[in-house]
Amino acid sequence: MRFEDFARVHGLIINNVVAHRQMRTPTEDKPRSKNGSYKYLGNVGFVMNWATMSEPAVWFSDDKTAHVQTSNINSLFSSLSVLNKQVASEKASKKAGWIMHQTKKGWHKYLSDKGFPLEEMDIWNTNGNSLLVIPMRIDKRLVGCQLINDKGDKKFLYGQTTKGAVFTFNAKGFPIFCEGFATGLSIREVLKASNIKYCIYVCFSATNMELVSRSFGDGLIIADNDTSKVGETSARKTGKPYWLSDAVGEDFNDYHKRVGTKTASFALKEKLIEIGAV
């Protein structure tokens, strides 16, 4: 079977096959959009219909005398690996959207434990569990979410894109970057107490915080004071000023709960004055 026929069996519409490049193409079920993907390497290739297939289909030439080069096989499987990640990411994005439509605003034990008993957020009640849902976006596009149960256990959706994804508290002010959602809530509360405008980027991990913050000229890093020093190390790598609790093992939420809003507000305002942000 020719590659074009193989692709057609899987619903792809290909007018002229382009070799050695991963290509997007229309499909029979979605002819106005490029919902198909393929890579053709002469004697081996793959096709993928994003609407009807959960993983790519691999094609080999019927020519028994054809020699499939090792480099072509390696190139194919490298592309397949990338494509499988793209498929998983697309599924996670769609699932996140579905989950968000199942949520209702409400209170959650995790938020109460973190010092915010009156904070209403998106809650998903599923299989007897109450999950706090934190949507994660890249350039306003929903790519996944963080799910937090009553015990504070956290997880992301399988296959979702986390690199570069954030949750934002935006009061159109100075950019501030942190790891966790509860930390973001504490930063927001103490800045409100000081009447300081802010844009808080919750980055979900130290490495992602380092990555996201590098896209900004200015900003303040609110690092976790981990015993492993991961938070401080990432903060230093950004080249931006950073704030760190004086107690090992604390993030800003822990610090906020320990010292109270007034003291925490003074400490953060003092840092922002020091770096000329206010």
| Residues 77 and 126 occupy one common structural domain | no
Burial class (CB in 10 A: 0-12, 13-18, 19+), 134: buried
Span 217-238, pLDDT tens digits: 999 999 999 999 999 999 999 9
Say how far apart CA 268 and CA 243 lie, in whole Å.
Answer: 8
| Phi, psi (rounded to 5 degrees) for 225 | -90, 70
- Residue range of the domain that includes 57: 3-90
Residue 137's CB is within 10 A of a number of other CB atoms, namely 16
116 and 185 Cβ atoms separated by less than 8 Å: yes
Q: Examine the domain organization and report whether 210 and 153 are in the same domain.
A: no
Q: Given this model, what pLDDT does residue 79 score?
A: 79
The 10s digit of each residue's pLDDT in 170-211 is: 989 999 999 999 999 999 999 999 999 999 999 999 999 999
CA distance 162 to 66: 42
Q: Is the pTM of this model over 0.85?
A: no
pLDDT single digits (tens) 47-82: 999 888 878 899 988 875 555 566 667 777 777 777
Token reading at 197: 């405008």
Whether residue 139 is found in the same domain as residue 180: no
Q: Is residue 36 located within the same domain as residue 116?
A: no
pLDDT tens, position by position, 137-150: 999 999 999 999 99
Task: Yes or no: say if 131 and 123 are a contact pair by the CB < 8 Å rule.
Answer: yes
**What is the reported pLDDT for 55?**
81
The residue out of 42, 60, 90 marking a domain boundary is: 90
Mean pLDDT, rounded, for 84-88:
83
Report d(CA 212, CA 234) in Å as an integer. 11
Distance from C-alpha of 196 to C-alpha of 269, rounded to nearest angstrom: 8
Task: Examine the domain organization and report whether 179 and 71 are in the same domain.
Answer: no
